[in-house]
Amino acid sequence: MGVDVHGTVTEGFEPVREAFARNFETLGDRGAAVAVYRDGRRVVDLWAGVKNIDDTDDTDGAEPWQRGTAQIVRSATKGVAAAVPLLLHQYGELDLDAPVGHHWPEFKAHGKERVLVRHLLNHRAGLPFLDRPLTPAEALDPLRGAEAVAAQAPAWEPGTDHGYHALTYGWLLDELVRRVTGRGAGQWIAERIAAPLGLDLWLGLPEAEAGRVGRVGPVEGPEPSGALRARPKRSVTAAYADPASVTRRAFAAISPSPDPNDPAFRAVAQPAANGIATADGLARFYASLIGRVDGVRLFEPATVERARAEESAGPDRVLIVGTRFGLGYMLHGSASPFLAPGSFGHPGRGGSLGFADPESGIAFGYVTNGFRTTVTSDPRAQALVRAVRSALAG
């Protein structure tokens, strides 16, 4: 028996509904939602399954996923957080080519005087890991993370190469925003982005909203085939397995890994990894970057171009495979395919995805409670992206 898919699609976007249903039937989704905007108007709004991963859809009393159900989106948080320094630049309050130490004097330690603001966004700061990882308890205090990255020596000469700052990105960006504005990134987003747009999206979950957020956990799915196949290269596998590698250390900057279902972890703002959103909140955010949504537009056209101009490309010191980054956003490529070459956005480890494509006017958001081992190219999200592409092709 197939899953009951709820919600609506505008005429022409029926392939997205079909692909969404198949994700439950063949790719292991248990609870998920997808939303798509085109030219500022919602054209896809779908949800299905159960709210909590430890429920099953044939268990008496299992709570169903509803339209307002939200989930932690892990690194898809980075794309939301990146909007803050870009907007501060747009408002004339932050120079992207200024040294970070100009705003944050303690950061200058260990030769980091030449680290520029843009290096924090394009993953060229050379600070993907901490020599002494934070414990989950320590990571609940964002100031501890900021102190740790300020005291950390770079792993390579800043600006000369790139490597994904999986967790340190959050502390770097959060403290920079705090030094410039007097507020952390989570508070700034709540006041200046989420409130004007009416987004169901939080960095630092308010207690009043906690009941809307489902429990997440691992799921298994069949091995993807054809275009979905994404077997890691041997060197990638070895890097993840080696405790001394830059790869392993980057993802272990908090060790052991925090429990994403822990209310204390959800309540703090870690702009690299613990944003919480509905699919609509994520898609609506990206729609506001490239056009007006109910009269509100965040990015001016020049800021859109700045966000998606290639800043880093090639073999990634952390992810090993070739990656492409603009300022805070991943760009369309083999490691993280979006809709089209001009798309920009960010996936979240485990499955979530948000992006915008200015040329087509498409903004996309997908969230799920079933985490798989994928870092950048989840087969469920990719199936939905292909369906959007098919719908646009007519």
Which is more confident, 232 or 155? 155
pLDDT in tens, 327-368: 999 999 988 999 999 999 999 998 999 999 999 999 999 999
209 token code pair: 């909203």
pLDDT class of 280 with cuts at 50, 70, 90: very high
Closest-CA residue to 68 (of 184, 201, 261, 247):
201
Is 255 marked active-site?
no
- At residue 189, φ and ψ (nearest 5 deg) are -65, -40
**Mean per-residue pLDDT for 34-56?**
94
Q: What is the pLDDT of residue 230?
A: 39
CB-CB contact of 200 with 71 (8 Å): no
Contacts of 376 (CB under 8 A, 6+ apart): 319, 323, 330, 335, 336, 347
Q: What is the pLDDT of residue 376?
A: 84
pLDDT in tens, 14-43: 999 999 999 999 999 999 999 999 999 999
Quote the percentage of the chain above a pLDDT of 90.
89
CA 209 to chain centre: 20
Q: What is the pLDDT of residue 6?
A: 98
Averaged pLDDT score across all residues of the chain: 94
Cα within 13 Å of Cα(331), Cβ side = 22
pLDDT in tens, 162-206: 999 999 999 999 999 999 999 999 999 999 999 999 999 999 999
pLDDT in tens, 217-273: 999 875 444 333 334 456 878 888 899 999 999 999 999 999 999 999 999 999 999
- CA 81/CA 75 separation, integer angstroms: 10
- At residue 264, φ and ψ (nearest 5 deg) are -65, -40
15 token code pair: 């392939």
Q: Of residues 75, 312, 336, 352, which has the active-site annotation?
A: 75
Contacts of 39 (CB under 8 A, 6+ apart): 291, 361
Contacts of 298 (CB under 8 A, 6+ apart): 83, 87, 193, 197, 288, 289
* Bridge partner residues of 215 (DSSP): none
Q: Classify strands 5-9 and 41-49 as parallel, antiparallel or unpaired.
A: antiparallel
Q: How many CB atoms lie within 10 A of CB 279?
A: 31
Identify the H or E element spanning 88. Answer: helix 76-90
User: Which amino acid, one-letter code, is at 246?
Assistant: V
* Bridge partner residues of 323 (DSSP): 314
Q: What is the pLDDT of residue 237?
A: 82
- CA 141/CA 270 separation, integer angstroms: 9
- The pTM for the full model equals 0.95
**Mean per-residue pLDDT for 78-96?**
98
